[in-house]
Structures are given as structure tokens and as C-alpha cells.
Amino acid sequence: MDTRHDANPQDRTPLDWAAIRERLEGERGPRYWRSLEQLADEPAFADFIEAEFPSVAPQMDRRRFLQVMGASLAMAGLAGCGKPEQGVPYVVQPEKIVPGEAQWYASAVTFAGYAQPVLGRTHVGRPTKLEGNPEHPVSRGASTAFTQAAILQLYDPDRSQAPRYKGVHSTWDSVQLEASTLAERLDRQQGRGLHLLLGASSSPTLRRQLGELLQRWPEARLYRHEPFEGDHYLAAERAFGRPVETHYRFEQAEWVLSFEHDWMGAGPRELPHAVRWGERKRRATDGEGEARLLVVESVPTLTGAKASERKRIEPDELPRYLQALATALGEGAGPAEPLPAERQRWIESVARELQARAGRCLITAGERTPVDVQAAVHRLNRQLGNVGRTLYYTDPVVWLDVGEQRLDDLPALVEAMRAGAVEALFMLGCNPVDTAPADLGFERALDAVPLRIHAGLYYDETAANSHWHLPLTHDLDGWHDSRAADGSVCLGQPLVRTFYSSRTLPELLALLQGDLNPSGRAELRKTWRALDEAAWRRALELGFLPDTALAPVEVSAGPIAWETPPARVEGLTLRFLPDPSVWDGRLANLGWLQELPKPITKLTWDNVIGVSPALAEAQGLANGDRVRVTLGHNVVVGPVWIMPGQAERTLSLYAGYGRTRAGRVGDALGYGLAPLRTAAEPWLRRGAALARTGERQPLATTQSHHIPHGKEIIRSEPRETAYRKAADKPTVRAEPRKTLYPSTPPNEPVWGMTIDLEQCIGCNACVVACQAENNIPVVGKEQVAKGRAMHWLRVDHYYTGDPAEPESSAFQPVPCMHCEQAPCEVGCPVNATVHGPDGLNEQIYNRCIGTRTCASYCPYKVRRFNWFDWTGDDEPSIQHQRNPNVTVRSRGVMEKCTYCVQRITEAGIAARIEDRPVADGEVQTACQQACPTQAIVFGDLSDPGARVLKGRDTRRHYALLEELGTQPKTTYLGLVELPKIGEGKA
């Protein structure tokens, strides 16, 4: 696999072993990171580590062998950074490396420019799982579905593995040759003709390098293209005269009013939003203020689903609602065309309530709403005194300029390309051929560029249209830095030696500038050379540079300037949205995400055209009918899906699909929406027509019924009574039932789980975390459609009320209930599912013969059967991702949630060694650990102080289907009903 063109490692400087030893002696138990280079203060050592010993094996002499052995001895944690290529068993077991015991390293993965701080778990050198970095304020240990899936991307066998020239595999030597020729030419021209297009980035190193590049080649031009970033910087510029980043402090906001803003939903900043909102909800539960969310939106989103009140509007009505609100808050005149009386009253009541909570409320508008709407929201927040309390502004996290130069946008680049000004175009870490709106004609313009160089993780659509394709290193096997949502700088250190012959972006830029052997690590260190070694080392251990969060800036929003509303157009309004599972398509090749049921629709493996129930009725559409959406001369054909709560005359179209070069997983799924998008109107277009094609397309959903039958599945309590203690609520277990069987001795401990439905926002982080932790296979669209999805944990979604405008909706994560009286245990004829001594309902894979009686008997239907051999033909690289502590199941056996028994055992062993009981919170299930709102709590039900018991004595605590007498140990805290605005005091 190693195709690197490294210099002969034997030429390298020998190590200063004395220094290493000296340092090692001083260090006791650093948890996250250990590097010999730090120890040795020897820059060349990093290179040595990269090359690692096996590559020198052929010419290994005795001295070399000893050196290598010595290295393996000393490389406590770093052995984790190497992927053994030839098995050389340890002669002497190195200290601190215990096979089977995981090593944790702090790192980060970036998404759309924002760093997601993580801890990476490695087993004998293999990264197997990511967790949120508990030290980082943005994460606090939580993570998102996208972050969880990053580990799979690291192992994706379809990642690009070597440079290509015109589609043919090439070498980095040739790249260097090309780069040096280009550099010479650019030097002559002052960089004229060099154009660089980047995705959003917050990397200080990249910015420094680009700054240096512009100093050398001042005529070079930089562009930015982040497909679904939205216009929030533009709006801030409109409101404040300069682009700023808006940071929401949801934990301080008792009332939140959101306009077309899916801040809980997938996106680069979803994590801090969810973490903060989770905290707000918790505080409200503890009696500290309220947590009320009001959402005005046209297309159903997670945020809308969690709103206590959701108002459905047509997108074009949005400015009128804002105007009405502004007027009610004393800003400007009302809308030219008044709102319906009932809505007007609602807005006025909301305005009154917000004013009553000035400084404790928050208004937000989506990044993709009209700029004047967003600017107005900035103004209104100022008027309400929220700035500095429930939100604050900082400089943009993602940099918009380098040196003097403001990064331009994609249309400007296309113009330059058309004008023939572009001699060499670098497209770094982006895929504009796929994501650019079709009206730009990016692909056509690109053809005219004499030298096109693409760098990316995959050989994608843009790569195929370029002369050169350079493989990028993944965030988890290369060095990088970038800022998290709060602006703090996260350091991404590799969890493993670079898999493929790839380079990081800083390495590429260095290479372009003539560095023949660029080192990502050295580039990074150069950026942060002000830090001394100790600080640098601590930063690596932590995963971020402390106290680098961006400081709030004082800005003041000017008065609202409304744009004239666009002329009314007949026809349907189109909204273009990123896909909640694969975003703009960059995650399309990840099976975990493709098979992840999308939060609202529970669809997998496809994107759809969302239509309102009324429109579906009028046009006679059913789910899966293929329709033709026409706007002007542009047409998109895709399957419809009826979305309760969608605006009547609005269609929602989701990006990320219709890809041709995503990889083996992501190709040829769904439809591409690019033809309908324009650069001028990338988020919303009016005047579309919809026609049935008469064809049908099978769609795979994991939940086809969203209306709960009866009130028992999702329970709710009015706020006044929800938190009251209920005497009859069993906190641990009901008293022993009458039974014919001998009673089982009481368990110690009794593991149980409490899931707070009020906290759960349905974000799916837990589902992917569970999949990553428990080696859950991906089964494919056809099998999902047959009802054979394998997720151990599913998040059910229910609506109540009228499908046209659902009153409320709820998410319910359903893992195994670990019933005390488990029907499955009765059903199994071969003792393959039994009650464990600590109350777990255990599944014994090698005893299971697959009668499926347990699954038939399970009222919760949480058991998953291996109908085929799902795992046998997995790619070797995918197999390496697997958690070695969890059995990979074969064909014909039943599986289900184990409460992450491997983690329980691990904690149990640690506790036994130290001769103490397992502490509360020491065992965290994968789902619990990932959950940004801490909706899932796991612990020992027999420990009176355990956090898992919190809320179990209140009225809103209930067990799912408790009337069946199964005595589940997973129980729920029901929803809290808030009175509607205007219906009595909240």
C-alpha cells in the first residue's frame, strides 16, 4: 500500500535516544497524545515515524534492527500511529501498549470549514471510533452523525489513493515537476493567471500559507465555494457593515423564535447549537426559566419538529412575517400586505412575550433566507437587548480574506475563466463541477482552462474534468488545524499513519511553492511557532489551543432596509436544501450515512422532492411517484415524498445525490438538483411547474407510519404537572410479580437507561455512533426497503394532528429495553438469549440458531436478524474499522442492542483492578456519549445517587408498553406540553 516517494529512511539522521529517554522519564500518563518527536525534539523524527520500520526491512542490518526495536519500545502511543505492514511480533512487550486496550488521541475533523473536535480511539494502531472531545466547549464529549461517520470515510476504499494525470495514475515526482515548472512561470508573471478555488476553511495554517503565496505571487486570485453555506456573512455585512459570525447562546435563551432556520439540523454548527439547547432544556427541567421554541418555516425540519409551536408559511411570506414582527416590536411600518388576522395576532402576542423577556430571548433566521430578513433579525435582536446575552458576534470563523484580498465567489471565477484570464486553476478540497448551479456553466468554462488541478478525497466529478487530480489526506490520517464553531483552534493530529499516497492541503501549498518534501506537521508547527514546546504538546493532548476562541466584537445593526418583494410569479416555489444525511454530496460514499434514516422522512439511500399533502392530493401524487419539475428550460425528475407540514405551494429539493463519481456506494442514487439552481438564486426559485411522469420509483424508508396509535407510545404531560413527583412511579423495578418460575436473585448492579424525549432532537448522532461502536453492517437500499435495516438503535418519529399542519411531532430513540421479564428469553429454544447477572438481556451469537422466536416475541421489535451474511464480503479496509471488542455477526444469528456490554465490561475490569465499584457515569453507551443534548442517560438503577434515576420519580416518566408487564429497564421521560401562545400564561 505504501507508494510514497520517500527518501531512503536510512539516510535520515539518527535519533537522539538519550533525549527521548530523558523526556519519557518526566512524563507520567499523558492520555491523549504521545509523540517521539516531541520527546526527542528532532524534526526529522516525524519523517522517520512516517516511514516506519517495515519499509526498511529489506535492507535491515543488525544495527538498524536494534534501532527499530528500540523505536517500537519507546513508541508508547505512537505505535498507534503505525499500521503494521509486515507482522513483526514484539520480542519485549512495550510498556503501556496492551493489545486490546484502546489508546485515545485528541484530533479534529473539519466539516464545511468548521472543526469538530474529537477524541479518536485506536486499537493496536487502528482508529476504530470517534467521540466528541469532552474538553472542548463546543463538543463537551458529544458529536454529530457526520462526525461519527468520518471514521468510515478514513477507511473508505474508494478514496483516491494516488495522483492522476488525465485520469491515469501518476506519481508525486511528476506533480513536483509540474509544480516547479508552474512556479517558475508564475514567478515571471507575478502569479498572474493563477486562480485558487477553495471550500470554506478556517485553517490558520492554510491562511498563512495563502498569505505567503500572495506575497510571492500577488496577482494570484483566490475564490471560495461552499455550496450550502448560505448568505449569513453577506447579511451581517448588510446589517453591520462588516461580515461577522453570529454565535447563539441558546442556553441563555428562554424563548427562541426561528425563521426558516434549521439550527438543530445537520450542518457545520449543529453540534454547539444542540449542546447549548440541550442545556437550556435541562435548566428548564430544573426549574430555571423556560425553554420554548417557536418556528416559522415552509419545509419541515428537525427544528420545526421540536418547536412547541410551528407556523407553516410559504417562503415568499417570510419578509411579511418579519415586517409584522418588527412593527410589533416598534421597528418600521408593517407589511404592505397584512398577514391573516389570526397570524397577525399570533405575531403580536409573540412580540409581547419576547419584549417581556428582553435579553432572555432570541430571534434567528436561517442562513439561506433573504439577506434583508437576516439583517432585520440582527436589528431586532439588538432592539430586544439580546446581543451579548443570548447571542454575540465575532469575526468570521471561516476566513473570507487572505491578506488584502477578499476571496471571491464562484460566478466571479467563471467570469474569469470565460475571459481566458485563468491559466492555472487549483480546485482544492471542493467539487464545483457537481455542486455549482447549472446556469453558471462551470464545467464548460472549466474546459477552456489550460491547466486544471483538483485536490480532493475522491476522484470525483471535478477530478474527472481536471488535468491533475491530487489525493488529499483525510483529516484523521494527516496534520491539519482549523477553528471550531466558537473559533477556537483545533489541532488535527493523525490517528494513524497516512494510508495512501496523499497530501494534506498545507502540504500541497508548500509543494506548489517549491518545498520538495513538505511535511504537514512542520507547516502546522510553523503557524504556531510562537508556542513553546510544552504549550504545543499540551495543545496536542487537548486537541485544541486553549483560549483561542474568537472574542466577541462590538457591532451595531443599522435600521432595517427592506428590499422590494419580488414580483409574484405563478407556479410552485422551489427550495434547495442540503441533505440531512449526505449534505451536498461530499458524504455520499459513506454507507452509514446513506443508510441513516433521514430525521423527518426516515428515508434512506435516496433524495426526494418533498410536496405538501394538499398538493399531493390535488395532483393525485403518492409517495414514490416520479415527477418532472420544470422551471424555464430546466428540468429535474425525481420521486415525490409527501411531507406533512410543508407549505402548500412549495417543493423541497435535496442536494447530494445524482452523483456519478462519488464512489461505489454513492453513485447513481437519487437525482441531481443542479439544473434548477442558479447562482443568483441558489436557495429559492419561483414559478416552477410539476408534472407526473407516470413512473414509480421504489423508495426505502424505515418507518412508513408516522402517526402513533394511541397515546401510550409518546406520552406528554402539561408543564405544571410534568415535573411533579409521582408516588406510584417505580424508580427501579416494580415489586416482584407473581410467577410460576423461581424468582431470580436481585441483580447488582442493574443497568438501565433513561431517555428524555423532551431533550431528544432526533439528530441521529446516536444511531451512527451505535453503528460505529457495534460493527453494525450496512445492508443496502433493497434490504432496507424489505424492512431489514440493521440499526440496533432507531429513532422513531411521530406526528400528531392534521397531516397538512401537524400539531407536534416527537422523536423516540428505541434501543433494546432490556426487559426484566423479557419475552424473547422465553421464546428462545436454545438459550441463546438469556438474562445476565447484571440485568442485561444478553444475546449469545454463537449459540443462536436463528429461529427468530425472540424477535417475533419482542413487542418493541428491536431485534435485528442477519438474513444473509452481511459482513463476509466487506472490503479489508472496512474490516479494519471494526471495533475488536464487538463480535462481527455471521449469517443467521439474531442481534440487538447490548447496552454496549463491551464498555460495561471494560469499566468493570478497571474497577475490579482498583477494587472499587464502577462509578456512576463511568460506563457511557455509545449513543449516550454521542448525544449532544444528553437525552440518553445510562447507569446503575440500584445506585440511589445515579444520574439515570433522575426524573424517574416524576409524572412524565414511563415505560414503553408497560402494560405488557415486560418491566423494561430502558424507560422514557415524556414530552412537556406548553400552553399555546395566547392560551393562558406560559
Partner 1 sequence: MSRADADPHYPGADTPHFLPRQMPLGEVSDRVLAIPVDFAPYRRAWWALFIFSCLLLGLFVASAVVVLWRGPGVYGNDNLVNWGFPILNYMWWLGIGHAGTFISAMLLLLDRPWRNSLNRLAELMTIMAVVCAGIYPILHLGRPWLFYWSAPYPNTMELGPQFKSPTAWDFFAVLGYLLVSLMFIYIGAIPDFASARDHARKRRYKVFYGLLALGWRGASSHWAHWRRAYRFVALLAIPLVFAVSSGYSFLLDLAPETGWHSTVFPPYFVAGAIFSGFALVIVIALGLRRFFGWQALITVRHLDVLGVLLLASGWMTAYGYFADTFIAFYSGKEHEITVTMARLAGPMAWSWWAAIFFNLVCLQALWWPQVRRNGKALLAIAVGVLIGMWCERWMLIIVPPTRDYLTSMWHSFSPTLWDWALFIGTFGLFLVPFCLFMRLLPMISTFEVKEALHRYRGGADD
Residue 879 neighbours by CB under 8 Å, 6+ apart:
none
Between β-strands 164-165 and 468-471, what pairing exists: parallel, antiparallel or unpaired?
antiparallel
808 binds partner 1 per the rule CB under 8 A: no
Report the 3 state secondary structure along 650-671: EEEEECCCCCCCCCCCCCCCCC
Nearest residue to 302 (alpha-carbon basis) of 612, 656, 601? 601
Nearest-5° angle of CA 120, CA 86, CA 591? 45
What is the footprint of partner 1 within residues 947-966 (CB under 8 A)?
960-961, 964-966
Long-range CB pairs of 898-904, under 8 A, 24+ apart, other chains included: 898/774, 898/792, 898/816, 898/840, 898/842, 898/843, 899/751, 899/753, 899/815, 899/816, 899/818, 899/840, 899/925, 899/938, 900/773, 900/774, 900/924, 900/925, 900/926, 901/840, 901/842, 904/751, 904/838, 904/840
Cell numbers given for 961: 408498553
CB of 814 to partner 1, least distance (A): 7
Under rule CB under 8 A, which residues in 758-777 are in contact with partner 1?
A: none
How far apart are alpha carbons 584 and 268 in whole angstroms? 12
Minimum distance between the CB of residue 622 and partner 1, rounded to whole angstroms?
Answer: 14
Nearest to 665 by CA among 601, 609, 582, 597: 582
- Amino acid in position 572: L
Instruction: Report in angstroms how near the CB of residue 836 gets to partner 1 at its nearest.
Output: 15
By CB under 8 A, residue 622 contacts partner 1: no
Cell of 722: 410534568
* 817 contacts partner 1 (rule: CB under 8 A): no
Smallest gap from Cβ 777 to partner 1, in A, equals 12
700 touches 605 (CB < 8 A): yes
Our CB check for partner 1 shows the closer of 43 and 698 to be 698
Closest C-alpha to 280, from 269, 271, 272, 288: 288
SS3 (DSSP) at 80: helix
Q: Which C-beta is closer to partner 1: that of 723 or that of 867? A: 867
Tell me the torsion sign for CA atoms 572, 573, 575, 576: positive
> What cell was used for 542?
487537548
Site for partner 1 in 727-746 (CB under 8 A): 741
Whose cell is 458529544? That residue is 142
Nearest approach, Cβ of residue 797 and partner 1 (Å):
7
Q: Which of residues 668-727 bind partner 1 (CB under 8 A)?
A: 703-710, 713
Query: What's the CA gap between 212 and 210, in Å, rounded?
Result: 5
Q: Write down the least CB distance from residue 641 to partner 1, Å.
A: 17
Binder to partner 1 among 83, 282, 794, 957 (CB under 8 A)? 794
Span interacting with partner 1, options 66-74, 260-268, 508-516, 857-865, rule CB under 8 A:
857-865
State the nearest-atom distance from the C-beta of 61 to partner 1, in Å.
52
Q: Which of residues 872-891 bind partner 1 (CB under 8 A)?
A: 891
Give the relative orientation of helices 232-240 and 371-383 as an angle to the nearest 10 degrees.
50
- Which of 65/857 has CB closer to partner 1? 857
Say if residues 742 and 976 touch (Cβ distance below 8 Å): no
Give the integer Cα–Cα distance in Å for 244 and 228: 18
State which residue, 282 or 863, has the beta carbon closest to partner 1: 863
Query: Should residue 857 be labelled a site residue for partner 1 when binding is judged by CB under 8 A?
Result: yes
* Among positions 692, 852, 906, 922, the unique one binding partner 1 when judged by CB under 8 A: 852
> With respect to partner 1, which residue has the nearer C-beta, 672 or 780?
780
CB nearer to partner 1: pick between 225 and 969? 969
Among the residue ranges 126-134, 507-515, 768-776, 841-849, the one whose residues contact partner 1 (CB under 8 A): 841-849
Binding residues among 963-982 for partner 1 as defined by CB under 8 A: 964-966
- Residue 419 CA to residue 930 CA, distance in Å, equals 49
Indicate whether 829 belongs to the interface with partner 1 (CB under 8 A).
yes
**Residue 893 contacts partner 1 per CB under 8 A:** yes
Q: Closer CB to partner 1, residue 569 or residue 849?
A: 849
CB of residue 718 vs partner 1: minimum separation in angstroms? 23
Select from 306-314, 521-529, 782-790, 951-959 the region that touches partner 1 (CB under 8 A).
Answer: 782-790
Query: Does the protein bind partner 1 through residue 797 (CB under 8 A)?
Result: yes
Min dist CB 644 to partner 1, Å, is 14
Interface with partner 1: number of residues (CB under 8 A)? 57
Using CB under 8 A, list all residues that contact partner 1: 703-710, 713, 741, 783, 786-789, 794, 796-798, 812, 814, 823, 826-831, 847-853, 855-857, 859-861, 863-869, 891-894, 960-961, 964-966
